[in-house]
Amino acid sequence: MKQKISSAPVFNRFLFSGCLFAILLMVSGCADTKTVRFKIDSVPKGAHVLYQVAGGDSPCRGQWLYLGSTPLQGVRQLSENEVEDADKIILKVFHNGYHDQVKEWDGAGFWQEVEERDVIFWAPELISNPKER
């Protein structure tokens, strides 16, 4: 009688090794990312908040990303290398009938604020624009 040899243990080891390798690659690729907390409010409430990275190697550089409306509390995963290499990090708050408000940092300055305060906090008081009302 011939005994059938199963290839399942070899396949399971190969699968386990492949999964372990993939996990290690993902973890090492995310090693320079950090969770950045945003707390943004405005007077009046209900203003829209945009975020932009200008310059550097960010895949979204130059694009405005919508974060939400005020009061805003949220988090984003940001790459330390992309932020530090950026020319500018820009937050813009706008509301119909009011002038836009903008806050800018260079990449190193933005990262320094994140490290020191553990949050990006901004509470602009919007200035009425009678022409838009």
**CB of 38 closer than 8 Å to CB of 76:** yes
Record: fold of 33-132: Immunoglobulin-like (2.60.40)
Give tens-digit pLDDT for 18-59.
Answer: 554 455 444 444 457 888 999 999 999 999 999 998 887 767
Residues near 18 by beta carbon (within 8 Å), at least 6 away in sequence: none
Instruction: With beta carbons less than 8 A apart as the criterion, state whether 82 and 55 touch.
Output: no
Q: How far is CA 25 from CA 14, 18, 19, 47, 57, in A?
A: 17, 11, 10, 40, 21
Neighbouring CB atoms inside 10 A of 60's CB total 11
- The residue extents of the domains of the chain are 33-132
pTM: 0.69
